[in-house]
Amino acid sequence: MTHQVHIIGGGLAGSEAAWQLAEAGLSVRLSEMRGSGETTAAHQSDALAELVCSNSFRSDDAENNAVGLLHAEMRALGSVIMAAADAHKVPAGSALAVDRDGFSAAVTERLAAHCNVELVRERIDALPASGSTIVATGPLTAARLAESIGAATGADALAFFDAIAPIVHRDSIDMGVCWMASRWDKGETKDYINCPMTKEQYLAFRQGLLDGDKTEFKEWEASTPYFEGCMPVEVMAERGEDTLRFGPMKPVGLDDPKTGRWPFAVVQLRQDNALGTLWNMVGFQTKLKHAEQVRLFRTIPGLEQAEFARLGGLHRNTFINSPLLLDAALRLKAAPHIRFAGQITGCEGYVESAAIGLLAGRFAAAELRGEAIAPPPPTTALGALLGHITGGADAVSYQPMNVNFGLFPPIEGRMKKANRKQLYTERAREALATWLA
Ligand SMILES: Cc1cc2nc3c(=O)[nH]c(=O)nc-3n(C[C@H](O)[C@H](O)[C@H](O)COP(=O)(O)OP(=O)(O)OC[C@H]3O[C@@H](n4cnc5c(N)ncnc54)[C@H](O)[C@@H]3O)c2cc1C
């Protein structure tokens, strides 16, 4: 099949871009190196749209949360990623979490079966010199292609750490000590396993994190900053005695049924697969050495006998300086036949990466059909995220960013925080409806 668009990378962004183009009637070559004998430091399968760490798409609340709003907008635009996520959701309170294997298998099946998609298992080593192209190779872009991107952009690629949280076998957790609950009883069910800590236990645990044996920095990693949203738990511990209690170990809204009170601190685990056999330690991404993780995490009440399906780890993240390099339609200014999509543009997260893939696919489709490219209004979640990446952000200090209401044009006037969120979402819904009409 000769193709009209070449997409490089079959992750969250590349899969969504391919779907949007294929559904618009354009033919796509989707090149994914996994399945050709290649892999990345984080992927574990050959499936498209593999979730490399958490199984959560975060809040699904479209009234009060920017990522929930982004979910809703993507659903309205026929997102294959959202359709597969909805079909494979697992209980997670007000969040949207998925069975990772079922989710990726569904995306793979739908794309492989689409008559406009040719899925090719191959590694691409250089940016194509011509032809409509979408580069969606993610934070772990293979080295040769990264070099080619560096040469084409003239800018140095940036790198920093992302860290993976450990996963525990459910049947090794002591439910005589832990209890099931969602914070403030939000959501219909009690979706999290909560491990309570006294003050003494918390202080000893924090000390263990500070003293624990850590993975050594490699030379090229030494000066790279962490993304705040994915900070290793031991780095949070270093920031202050209470930092963890205001972060992943926050006890507020979690009444321990044994005492009727909030504990001093809590470790939470969230369901990681449909069977409910695997649970991930929420916010416990770490660069502690594996043996140290097992020793220290087994001091957490209820996890004394914990068996780990996966331990935490560290990984590189590569992204380009999009505000400087890309135009408003995600095209490389220096080579406009090439678009970038996904985390390599400097957005952060599964949902945001898929959202930028969705836009790149639609923009490429419009261009090839000779239609004007109409970006979504900046008052929508899609438009706010796009605007940030393609010019709204400061190019000098550009860092990966999740979608949040801070990216939306402000609503003037004084009002309660809760009302403000609802005004943002109402305004976004109206703007999207007008844009789609
Ligand atoms: C270790 C780690 C943990 C993370 N944890 C989370 C998390 O918990 N939650 C979250 O929301 N986000 C997390 N992220 C970010 C996550 O990677 C992105 O949110 C999302 O996967 C990015 O989607 P993408 O499509 O841009 O890239 P990816 O999903 O990584 O897809 C890129 C694809 O391109 C392929 N590829 C790379 N180079 C080539 C090449 N030269 N030729 C052909 N194919 C190529 C890769 O094999 C891969 O399939 C994490 C990232 C890492 C690295």
Of all protein residues, the one whose alpha carbon is nearest to atom 11 of ligand 1 is 349
Predicted local distance difference test score (pLDDT) of residue 151: 87
Could you give phi then psi for residue 265, rounded to 5 degrees? -155, 160
Which atom in ligand 1 lies closest to the alpha carbon of residue 31? 43
- For residues 71-91, give the mean pLDDT: 98
Which atom in ligand 1 lies closest to the alpha carbon of residue 142? 38
Q: Kindly report which listed range (124-133, 138-147, 170-179, 415-424) carries the lowest average pLDDT score.
A: 415-424
Pairing of strands 265-271, 133-135: unpaired
Q: Is the pLDDT of residue 283 over 50?
A: yes
* 8 Å CB contact between 318 and 159: yes
For the chain, the straight-line distance linking the first and the last C-alpha, in angstroms and rounded, comes to 34
**Whole-angstrom Cα Rg for the chain:** 22
134 versus 162: the higher-pLDDT residue is 134
Identity at 53, one-letter amino acid code: C
For residue 404, give both structure tokens: 């949040």
Q: Is the pLDDT of residue 148 over 60?
A: yes
226 versus 386: the higher-pLDDT residue is 386
Q: Is the pLDDT of residue 387 over 80?
A: yes
Residue 110, strand partner residues: none
- For residues 304-325, give the mean pLDDT: 84
- For residues 155-177, give the mean pLDDT: 76
Residue 220 confidence class, pLDDT cut points 50, 70, 90: very low
* 8 Å CB contact between 133 and 6: yes
Nearest Cα neighbor of 51 from 2, 88, 6 is 88
Above pLDDT 90, what percent of the chain? 70
- For residues 208-231, give the mean pLDDT: 68
- For residues 203-223, give the mean pLDDT: 78
Of all protein residues, the one whose alpha carbon is nearest to atom 4 of ligand 1 is 53
For residue 232, give both structure tokens: 């290793």
CA angle 41, 46, 48 (to 5 degrees): 100
222 versus 239: the higher-pLDDT residue is 239
Residue 161, strand partner residues: 226, 316
The pTM of the full predicted model, rounded to 2 decimals, is 0.79
Of all protein residues, the one whose alpha carbon is nearest to atom 20 of ligand 1 is 350
User: What distance in angstroms lies between residue 297's CA and the mean position of ligand 1's atoms?
Assistant: 27
376 lines ligand 1 (CB under 6 A): no
- CB count within 10 Å of CB 176 equals 8
Predicted local distance difference test score (pLDDT) of residue 41: 80
